């Protein structure tokens, strides 16, 4: 069977099949690269993979050529420990301008009082928020991992679970309007354990997360409220999800998921907490900031401020709903019965009791469909095996795919799962996938 990797290798950067099918043809047909043949060969292969297979990992996106260029800029050469106007090194006049620009745009985008654009990642943003708000051993309420929460929400293998006493909440039982955040449980637990902090936000939850009931519960028990908007920051920026800014005490998020910027994190908070948050990021947690990434964040925030970003955010959700409907007509059960955001969570058990998330992920990848296995609420299988699949629409929506393509993708997924292990059927699906992808190249597709 021609694997996806073989297929990629046989394709030149324009997506055409290379007549000789050799690596050299691919490498030199492109005319792009960094000039290091070994590095270029790998970059080229990855570039072809990204545009000849379907990118349905819910936490991924295609950043614009402007974001990619800023992230590859000369600002990587500069040390800038500290903050604009208060640096520990000389020569930061233009770095200060860049970081101030990023902060000004971000504050405007979300109507935030104070922002910090230095966290290297979403995990670092959470670590800084905890460092600012908690002492080791303090009690925190957060969504349990197997119900959709993130590693940094108290997993025992993560610093969060080792340093703080996390108490998990989850979702309601399956059924009509089920598998939603169980606010009765959140309130009961909050009254019982009196947490210092309540965390909202998730990594595999397909529904709107309303910050208002969390605020109410936090106020009742005298807790701080952190909203981790890592996945949905772009949906909030685009006005299709309720904003936690001005509701939560602290909002953390990544800049590379639905927000479509460079890989990184950011924090917003009230003036009252500004000093503590800034001190927690630097010198508390990090050294020199990645100013080239901060430049790329400034570009991405500028893009998200444009009216077209509202259309993009709305299209992400419309596409997720279309994908959900198509998957359901293929006989797949969706956790919570559908989606309000950019992702769907498939419970594979009713489709095929024997089919684990791991096997499904591998079957889809062989067919050129890239998604990840994921635990579902109450999953009997381990996080390495799982009974679920998580699929997101943010990246393919960026390429211009719409509801008709989502309907097609749902059918391709059904076909791929049913014909797993059948090499010729899988190869035929991979051809269909490549044909579809060729019509929707990601922005900056020819870049390494």
Ligand X SMILES: *Cc1c(COP(=O)(O)O)cnc(C)c1O
Residues that bind ligand X (CB under 6 A): 59, 121-123, 126, 150, 152, 201-203, 228, 230-231, 254, 265
Cβ proximity to ligand X: between 154 and 368 the closer is 154
Of 231 and 415, CB closest to ligand X = 231
**Residue numbers annotated as active site:** 79, 81, 228, 254, 257, 263
In the bound complex, what is the minimum distance in angstroms from residue 122's beta carbon to ligand X?
A: 2
Query: Smallest gap, in angstroms, from Cβ of residue 60 to ligand X?
Result: 10
In the complex, what is the shortest distance from the CB of residue 173 to ligand X, in angstroms, rounded to a whole number? 23
- Which residue's Cβ lies closest to ligand X? 122
Q: For residue 400, is it left (φ>0), alpha (ψ between -120 and 50) or beta?
A: left
At closest approach, how far in Å is the CB of 41 from ligand X?
27
Looking at the Cβ atoms of 125 and 323, the one nearer to ligand X is 125
120 vs 349, beta carbon nearer ligand X: 120
Question: Nearest approach, Cβ of 58 to ligand X (angstroms)?
Answer: 9
Nearer to ligand X, 209 or 273 (CB): 209
């Amino acid at each position: 069977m021609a694997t996806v990797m073989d297929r990629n290798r046989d394709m030149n950067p324009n997506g055409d099949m290379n007549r000789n099918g050799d690596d050299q043809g691919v490498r030199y047909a492109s005319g792009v690269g960094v000039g290091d043949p070994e590095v270029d060969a790998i970059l080229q292969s990855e570039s072809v993979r990204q545009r000849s297979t379907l990118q349905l990992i819910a936490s991924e996106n295609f950043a614009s050529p402007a974001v990619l260029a800023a992230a590859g800029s000369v600002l990587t050469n500069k040390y800038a420990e500290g903050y604009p106007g208060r640096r520990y090194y000389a020569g930061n006049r233009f770095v200060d301008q860049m970081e101030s620009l990023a902060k000004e745009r971000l504050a405007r985008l979300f109507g935030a009082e104070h922002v910090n654009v230095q966290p290297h990642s979403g995990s670092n943003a959470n670590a800084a928020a905890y460092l600012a708000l908690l002492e080791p051993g303090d009690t925190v309420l957060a969504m349990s991992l197997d119900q959709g929460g993130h590693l940094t929400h108290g997993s025992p293998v993560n610093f969060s679970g080792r340093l703080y006493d996390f108490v998990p909440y989850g979702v309601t039982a399956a059924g009509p309007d089920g598998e939603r955040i169980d606010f009765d449980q959140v309130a009961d637990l909050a009254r019982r354990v009196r947490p210092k902090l309540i965390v909202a936000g998730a990594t595999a939850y397909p529904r709107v997360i309303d910050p208002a009931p969390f605020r109410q519960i936090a106020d009742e028990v005298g807790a701080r409220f952190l909203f981790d908007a890592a996945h949905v920051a772009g949906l909030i920026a685009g006005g299709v999800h309720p904003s936690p800014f001005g509701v939560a005490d602290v909002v953390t998020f990544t800049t590379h998921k639905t927000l479509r910027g460079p890989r990184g994190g950011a924090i917003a908070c009230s003036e009252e907490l500004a000093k503590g948050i800034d001190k927690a990021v630097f010198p508390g947690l990090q050294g020199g900031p990645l100013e080239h990434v901060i430049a790329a964040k400034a570009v991405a925030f500028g893009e998200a401020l444009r009216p077209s970003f509202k259309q993009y955010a709305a299209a992400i959700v419309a596409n997720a709903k279309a994908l959900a409907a198509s998957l359901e007509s293929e006989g797949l059960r969706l956790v919570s019965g559908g989606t309000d955001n950019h992702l769907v969570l498939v419970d594979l058990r009713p489709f095929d009791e024997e089919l684990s998330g791991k096997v499904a992920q591998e079957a889809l990848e062989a067919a050129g469909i890239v998604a990840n296995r994921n635990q579902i609420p109450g999953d009997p299988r381990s996080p390495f095996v799982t009974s679920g699949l998580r699929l997101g629409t943010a990246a393919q929506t960026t390429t211009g795919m719409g509801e008709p393509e989502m309907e097609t993708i749902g059918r391709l997924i059904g076909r791929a799962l049913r014909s797993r292990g059948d090499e010729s059927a899988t190869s035929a699906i991979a051809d269909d996938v490549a044909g579809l992808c060729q019509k929707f190249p990601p922005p900056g597709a020819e870049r390494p």
